[in-house]
Amino acid sequence: MKDKILNVVKNNTMLIVLVLVVLFFQISTGGFLEGKMLQPSQFNALVTQNAYVYVLATGMLMCMLTGGNIDLSCGSFVCFVGVIGAQIMVAMMNGGVSPVLATVVGILVMIVVGAIYGSLLGFIIAYVNIPPWIATLAGFLALRGLGVALISNSKYGNGSSISNLPAEFCQLFSGKLNDFFGGPRINGIQYNMTSIVIALIACVIFILLTLRERKMRIKKGYEVQSKAATITKLVLVCFVIMLFGYKYSLAGGVPYALIWVGAIVLIYNFITSKTDVGRYFYTIGGNSEATRLSGIDTKRIMFIAYLNMAVLTVFSAFFTMARYTAANTTAGTNYEMDAISACVVGGVSAYGGSGTVFGMIVGATLIGVINIGMFLMNIDANWQKVVKGAVLLGAVVFEILNNKKKGTK
């Protein structure tokens, strides 16, 4: 029994740390019941302010699985592609085009630019054999310079930003879902019932999928969790989902950012766990040469990783532009560091070959909670960096020590 408990704790260390950090900030900002950390506004901020982290970290996960490779250029690319999209949308509206059409064209152009850059970067890394950190470092420098130069010379900006983006674009990526069920108003508080309904549907889907997968594993003779462990998992996850649904009902509704992030995360969780291509990322990180000799095109997988990273970076640019209703010269600053930190803290190996989308979500959430918690406690920005650096280093040390223990067994 003791070994089982220790095993559960070891496999869910960062999740436990996340819960403890949330409780710490809740108590530190006013007490367990009156603290600010669990207020509806903070649940909203956790997603709207960190949507870019979840999306970028998903792409960074795919790169890191291939052998600890990273993309240092993603933050600068957010700035560059954001400037291109903003100029197109503002120019079209100034020319009399409807905001909706300007939004559609701007989004499509940004995705195309992302695909072109991702293809170029993937080709250089996979087929020219330029080390990823060098190729992406070049992008880190060049793209930031291009983005700043474009804004400085744009007739639609003020030298440092391009604003007046279409309201439809901003609503699509930073707005909230309307209440389709007409929630009640109780004691002066308006409840958004759509948030509750979405949470209930999510719980039902999660329960059905979990039980279905457990049944299939039993049928195939695979090892499964005990009934007690499965029920505990279902109860805890559903509690968290319903908590978010309730808090969002008080905060005005489910943010569109959460819907986008949820869709992206679910898609990539399916890719990494249920498809052959997804498994190839893991095998390349585990042993690239053995993977190549087994007949898998390792260069193509590496190419896909960086093409995918660039496209997801475009989506991060959407969130950033919509949140600030502008494209500016500082957009994307340190985004690459946030994405890498989220992955490493979430258990993605710095050497490649291991890591999960769920772990990355926990890591990204922990980074977001730390940011919000320290802001609520009025901690100096420089000390915030120190804390995040310590958390990142601690996660790497934990991974190394854990791997050493496994190797001694």
What's the pLDDT score for residue 224? 82
| 144 residue type, one letter | R
Grade residue 222 by pLDDT with cuts at 50, 70 and 90.
confident
- Stretch 281-295: mean pLDDT: 89
- What's the pLDDT tens digit per position in 234-247? 998 899 999 999 99
Between 408 and 107, where is the model more confident? 107
d(CA 181, CA 199): 14
pLDDT surpasses 60 at 407:
no
Q: Check: CB of residue 305 under 8 Å from CB of residue 135.
A: no
d(CA 400, CA 92): 53
What's the pLDDT score for residue 261? 95
Q: Check: CB of residue 273 under 8 Å from CB of residue 359.
A: no
What's the pLDDT score for residue 246? 94
pLDDT surpasses 80 at 402:
no
pLDDT surpasses 90 at 53:
yes
- What's the pLDDT tens digit per position in 80-135? 999 999 999 999 999 999 999 999 999 999 999 999 999 999 999 999 999 999 99
pTM of the model: 0.91
What's the pLDDT score for residue 283? 92
CB neighbours of residue 85 within 10 Å: 27
Grade residue 201 by pLDDT with cuts at 50, 70 and 90.
very high
How would you class 76 by CB atoms within 10 Å of its CB: exposed for 0-12, middle for 13-18, buried for 19 or more? buried
CB neighbours of residue 221 within 10 Å: 7
- Stretch 48-72: mean pLDDT: 94
Share of the chain above pLDDT 70, in %: 95
Least confident of 45-59, 213-227, 254-268: 213-227
What's the pLDDT score for residue 408? 42
pLDDT surpasses 90 at 354:
no
- Stretch 74-85: mean pLDDT: 96
- Stretch 144-165: mean pLDDT: 90
| 237 residue type, one letter | V
pLDDT surpasses 70 at 396:
yes
Residue 32, phi then psi, degrees to nearest 5: -60, -40
Strands, E, within 71-215: which ranges?
Answer: 161-162, 185-186, 189-190
What's the pLDDT score for residue 315? 97
- Stretch 161-181: mean pLDDT: 92
What's the pLDDT score for residue 2? 63
Q: Which long-range contacts (CB under 8 A, 24 or more apart) does 355-359 make?
A: 355/61, 355/64, 355/65, 356/269, 356/272, 356/273, 357/58, 357/61, 357/265, 357/268, 357/269, 357/272, 357/273, 358/269, 359/14
- What's the pLDDT tens digit per position in 316-345? 999 999 999 999 999 999 999 999 999 998
d(CA 407, CA 409): 6
Strands, E, within 309-391: which ranges?
Answer: 327-328
d(CA 29, CA 35): 5
Residue 189, phi then psi, degrees to nearest 5: -110, 125
What is the residue-averaged pLDDT of the chain? 90
Helix (H, G, I), strand (E, B) or coil at 255: strand
CB neighbours of residue 226 within 10 Å: 9
pLDDT surpasses 70 at 394:
yes
Q: Check: CB of residue 78 under 8 Å from CB of residue 320.
A: yes
DSSP state of 26: H
pLDDT surpasses 70 at 11:
no
Grade residue 409 by pLDDT with cuts at 50, 70 and 90.
very low
Give the residues across from 185 on adjacent strands. 190
Please give the C-alpha separations between residue 381 and each of 14, 54, 198, 375, 376, in angstroms, as whole numbers. 24, 22, 36, 8, 12
Grade residue 6 by pLDDT with cuts at 50, 70 and 90.
low
pLDDT surpasses 90 at 62:
yes
Which residue is associated with the tokens 């474009």? 150
What's the pLDDT score for residue 403? 65
Helix (H, G, I), strand (E, B) or coil at 327: strand
